[in-house]
Amino acid sequence: MTEAVRTPRTGDVLRLTAAASVQFMRPIIVRVIRALDWPTYYGWLWIDVYQLGANGDAVERRSLFVMPAGLIWQDPPAPAPSAGRTTRRPVARTPVRVG
């Protein structure tokens, strides 16, 4: 019985290692834009992605040739903490007198 291979979808965050393709000897993290319907070898796939930096921001757009069986799904990176906490005060409302 063959195991079903998961196909990446828009918004998925993936860790690409040498298991996905030999070009990723140094692993990278990417966010999927879309899986492309381009002709390729059996068991391989083209995907459009944004390569993510250490802070989770997109640093480069790429089209990559990968083996879906070697993709590692990740949780999206947490947003960077804000510089300072702001406190909000309720707006003081003054009554309006008519007449």
Alpha carbon distance 36, 59 (integer Å)? 21
What DSSP line would sit under 15-59, residue for residue?
A: EE-TTT-GGGSS-EEEEEEEEE-----TT-EEEEEEEE-TTS-EE
The answer to whether residue 66 sits within a structural domain is yes
Per-residue pLDDT tens digits of the chain, which is 99 residues long: 556 778 899 999 999 999 999 999 999 999 999 999 988 889 899 999 999 999 999 999 999 999 999 999 998 656 666 655 666 776 677 777 776
Domain span at 55: 13-74
Residue 47 domain-assigned? Answer: yes
Q: Is residue 33 assigned to a domain?
A: yes
Do the Cβ atoms of 75 and 56 come closer than 8 Å?
A: no
User: Does residue 84 form part of some domain?
Assistant: no
Q: Is residue 86 part of a domain?
A: no
